[in-house]
Amino acid sequence: MKILVINAGSSSLKYQFMESEGGEVFAKGLCERIGIDGRLTHKVPGREDVVREIPMPTHNEAIQSVLDILVDPEKGVIASTDEIAAVGHRVLHGGAAFTESCIIDDACIEAIKKCIPLGPLHNPANLMGIEACQKIMPSTPQVAVFDTAFHMTMPPKAYIYAIPYEYYEKDDVRRYGFHGTSHRYVSARAIDMLGNPAHSRVISCHLGNGSSLAAIVDGKVMDTSMGLGPLAGFPMGTRSGDVDATILEYLMGRYNYDIKEMLNILNKKSGVLGISGVSSDFRDLDAAAAQGNERAQLALDKFIYEVKKFIGAYTTVMGGVDAIVFTAGIGENSIDLRRQICDGLEYMGIKMDAEKNNVRGKEADVSAADSKVKIFVIPTNEELMIAMDTAALCGK
Instruction: Report the residue from 204, 240, 315, 333 that binds ligand ADP according to the rule CB under 6 A.
Output: 333
* Residue selected from 47, 113, 135, 283 as contacting ligand ADP according to rule CB under 6 A: 283
Contacts (Cβ under 8 Å, ≥6 apart) of 317: 215, 222, 223
Give the C-alpha separation, 376 to 203, whole Å.
10
Distance, in Å, from the CA atom of 93 to the CA atom of 85, rounded to the nearest integer, reads 25
Whole-number minimum distance, CB 207 to ligand ADP, in Å?
7
In angstroms, what is the minimal distance from the CB of 281 to ligand ADP? 4
Q: Find the part of the chain contacting ligand ADP (CB under 6 A) among 1-9, 30-38, 279-287, 364-372.
A: 279-287
CB closest to ligand ADP, residue no: 329
Contact between 330 and ligand ADP per CB under 6 A: yes
Cβ(43)–Cβ(27) below 8 Å:
yes
Distance CA 267, CA 122 (A): 14
Q: Is position 209 an interface residue for ligand ADP (rule: CB under 6 A)? A: yes
Nearer to ligand ADP, 217 or 300 (CB): 300
- Quick check: 351 and 230 in contact, CB under 8 A? no
Q: Which is nearer to ligand ADP, 65 or 276 (CB)?
A: 276
Strand 25-32 and strand 39-43: the pairing is: antiparallel
Do the beta carbons of residue 88 and residue 4 sit within 8 Å? yes
Regarding 339 and contact with ligand ADP (CB under 6 A), the answer is no
Q: Give the three-class secondary structure for 217.
A: strand
Q: How many residues bind ligand ADP (CB under 6 A)?
A: 12
**Does residue 210 interact with ligand ADP by CB under 6 A?**
yes
Which residue out of 37, 82, 147, 172 is catalytically annotated?
147
What are the helix and strand counts (H, E) for the chain? 14, 14
Rounded Cα gap, residues 205 and 188, in angstroms: 13
Q: Is 106 a catalytic residue?
A: no
Stretch of residues binding ligand ADP (CB under 6 A), selected from 103-111, 141-149, 241-249, 276-284? 276-284
Q: Does 230 bind ligand ADP (CB under 6 A)?
A: no
Q: Which is nearer to ligand ADP, 155 or 361 (CB)?
A: 361
Cβ partners under 8 Å of residue 169, min gap 6:
none
Query: Which residues carry out catalysis?
Result: 147
Residues that bind ligand ADP (CB under 6 A): 208-210, 237, 281-283, 328-330, 333-334
